[in-house]
Chains A and B, each alone.
Chain A
């Protein structure tokens, strides 16, 4: 018996050492932590239960028989984050560069199955050089197994990918299929084909950072949702993000004991919208004043800044926020903003998080480039996502709600539950100048002083439509409220809507214009 125990202890000890002291030192020199150090930061102390610590590959080609490490370059198991159960895997770069093997795939799949069956979130700490070439198609098949489970778990349990090192080739699809991607600055990158291949195929000269670095994926491609200053910040970000999400799609996110008065009315909101309609203002000021202090977690903060999406808390309850940002492109919707908004709506809907929409949008961005790249199709995603969503939906028109964007941004017809408007709201089919030129074309052409006549008609049009009262009169706006009343109004409304249940027609799945 003691021999068995000795063997077990030796194997466990070997598993804990990963790729050995030299590799661990190299990892530290790169400014990176080992898989186990990362898990120690992520999980509650003493909560980690490891599975598959002794699993190794059985490949003998290319001298692989001599390179057998218990765990095979990945640490998997169950643990707790702030007392909540989670399933985790962490790729170990010190073991053969964290290369993705058949055994890795089995271990990840095991954890994915456990997470899905137990209804608990899955977190992956990615740091891998790619597929293990020595294993050939085995590792490729392994990718497929992981992708399949990513898709099945999508919208059932939260899946978060924390990118802490390289992720190249087919491996990128697993994080891309998860709900959120967090990238650590300086140490992580993701791309399908590397700079050398791109140079050979297209002749384009690009380095790793400019091809698939954290800034590119956070600000240009939109593949990543959060940018963290370093590994520790990325892990903290994952813990913070998890606090806004439920354990699975049948539960609610944790409610934090209310710490900000529910009846707080922020006087600054009454003057946040400038008197001049073309003057921008920062929608973040509105969000900060309305929601629980310091609770806003912005998603995709760098990508498509003409729209703002993120999580916050209202009276301790998690909510999703969608807003136009008048400080960027006047808040107009373009292709990227449409993708950003529609994806976020679907995430909130999947995890039963109520949606609050702040509307200040002059419309969809005009332009040949936008039309050629399918702004119609992308814009339609917003309509699709809002209409399909069955969570409580409340909208507040702060200023402009023009044309198609009024309809798309959580209007009554998008199965919105409550539509509020501030007195500064302007709800119209189009801007005053354009509308007058169409409506009064003949009158303007015959007028003695066309400029003065146009000004008169513009003034009339503004008085008629550039306020929320006509829309309220027609029932398209439920209530016109003082801006400072927004917080208490939202809290009271959500108190009622929290038990909202709405169903969609039975179908295999809809056909979102992806």
Chain B
């Protein structure tokens, strides 16, 4: 085998080996791209957004901006009504709470109202 033939054989083996590697890499790339595309597709939520395998966990639900605005306004309005009506969640302390009662005021108010004497009691 002449030197030229030997060189040609080496070149062929190199081309075949490298070609095989590049073909396999290209196949792998195509497979990965296909998997990524499949993964990005939206999935249906027949279970109401519950994440499988995680009890109580929910996927974030995308809402239309108008609906989101309406809900926000409703929440703030409800909060304003609760505040205006001094609902329990909005109070600093329970009415008549002993914790905040002042003996000075209690005694003073008793003296202010001592003339009141219900009949027969």
Interface membership of A239, Cβ < 8 A: yes
Is there an interface contact between A250 and B91, defined as CB atoms closer than 8 Å? no
Q: Which residues of B contact A316 (CB under 8 A)?
A: 92
Docked Cα-Cα span, A246 to B105, in Å, equals 15
Please list the 8 inter-chain residue pairs (A to B) with the smallest Cβ-Cβ separation, ordered nearest first.
A501-B108, A243-B86, A83-B88, A255-B92, A254-B86, A82-B87, A254-B95, A251-B96
Closest to A352 in B: B109
Q: Which residues of A contact B102 (CB under 8 A)?
A: 499
On whether A240 and B111 interact (CB within 8 A), knowing A256-B90, A257-B92, the answer reads no
Q: What mask results when residues 377 to 392 of chain A are scored 1 for a CB within 8 Å of chain B, else 0?
A: 0000000000000100
Closest to A292 in B: B83
On whether A256 and B91 interact (CB within 8 A), knowing A243-B85, A499-B104, A506-B115, the answer reads yes
Q: Which residues of A contact B84 (CB under 8 A)?
A: 240, 243, 294-295
> Of the candidates A240, A243, A249, A498, which one forms a contact with B109 in the assembled complex, judged by CB atoms under 8 Å apart?
A249
Interface membership of B113, Cβ < 8 A: yes
Within 8 A of B (CB), among A466-514: 498-499, 501, 503-504, 506, 508
Within 8 A of A (CB), among B60-105: 80, 83-88, 90-96, 100, 102, 104-105
How many of chain B's residues have a CB under 8 angstroms from any CB in A?
29
Is there an interface contact between A250 and B92, defined as CB atoms closer than 8 Å? no
> Of the candidates A156, A251, A255, A498, which one forms a contact with B91 in the assembled complex, judged by CB atoms under 8 Å apart?
A255
Closest to A295 in B: B84
Q: Which residues of A contact B104 (CB under 8 A)?
A: 499, 501
Interface membership of A101, Cβ < 8 A: no
* Interface residue range, chain A: 35 or more
Q: Which residues of B contact A110 (CB under 8 A)?
A: none
Docked Cα-Cα span, A503 to B107, in Å, equals 12
Closest to B108 in A: A501
Q: Which residues of B contact A258 (CB under 8 A)?
A: 92
Interface membership of B110, Cβ < 8 A: yes
How far apart are A433's CB and chain B's nearest CB, in angstroms?
46
Docked Cα-Cα span, A21 to B86, in Å, equals 37
Is there an interface contact between A294 and B80, defined as CB atoms closer than 8 Å? yes
Q: Which residues of A contact B96 (CB under 8 A)?
A: 247, 251
Chain B residues within CB distance 8 Å of chain A: 80, 83-88, 90-96, 100, 102, 104-113, 115-116, 118
Q: Which of A247, A254, A499, A501 has the most CB of B within 10 A?
A: A254
Interface membership of A253, Cβ < 8 A: yes
Q: Which residues of A contact B113 (CB under 8 A)?
A: 249-250
Is there an interface contact between A250 and B109, defined as CB atoms closer than 8 Å? yes
Docked Cα-Cα span, A286 to B83, in Å, equals 22
**Besides the known contacts A82-B86, A82-B87, A256-B83, 8 further A-B residue pairs in the complex with CB atoms under 8 A apart:** A83-B88, A84-B95, A254-B94, A254-B95, A258-B92, A501-B104, A501-B107, A501-B108
Interface membership of A372, Cβ < 8 A: no
Q: What mask results when residues 222 to 250 of chain A are scored 1 for a CB within 8 Å of chain B, else 0?
A: 00000000000000000110111011011
How far apart are A233's CB and chain B's nearest CB, in angstroms?
12
Closest to A82 in B: B87
Docked Cα-Cα span, A370 to B115, in Å, equals 37
Is there an interface contact between B110 and A250, defined as CB atoms closer than 8 Å? yes
A selection of 21 A-B contacts at a CB cut-off of 8 Å is A82-B85, A82-B87, A83-B87, A84-B95, A152-B118, A246-B95, A247-B95, A250-B110, A251-B95, A251-B96, A252-B95, A256-B86, A256-B92, A294-B80, A499-B104, A499-B105, A501-B105, A501-B108, A504-B112, A506-B115, A508-B115
Q: Which of A152, A256, A294 has the most CB of B within 10 A?
A: A256
Docked Cα-Cα span, A247 to B92, in Å, equals 16
Docked Cα-Cα span, A219 to B116, in Å, equals 35
Q: What mask results when residues 414 to 426 of chain A are scored 1 for a CB within 8 Å of chain B, else 0?
A: 0000000000000
Docked Cα-Cα span, A83 to B108, in Å, equals 28
Docked Cα-Cα span, A499 to B104, in Å, equals 7
Interface membership of A4, Cβ < 8 A: no
Q: Which residues of B contact A294 (CB under 8 A)?
A: 80, 84
Interface membership of A62, Cβ < 8 A: no
Within 8 A of B (CB), among A267-284: none
Closest to A81 in B: B85
On whether A503 and B116 interact (CB within 8 A), knowing A83-B88, A239-B85, A255-B91, the answer reads no
Q: Which residues of A contact B88 (CB under 8 A)?
A: 82-83
Q: Which residues of A contact B85 (CB under 8 A)?
A: 82, 239-240, 242-243
Q: What mask results when residues 450 to 480 of chain A are scored 1 for a CB within 8 Å of chain B, else 0?
A: 0000000000000000000000000000000
Q: Which residues of B contact A152 (CB under 8 A)?
A: 118
How far apart are A62's CB and chain B's nearest CB, in angstroms?
36
Q: Which residues of A contact B115 (CB under 8 A)?
A: 506, 508
Q: Which residues of A contact B116 (CB under 8 A)?
A: 156
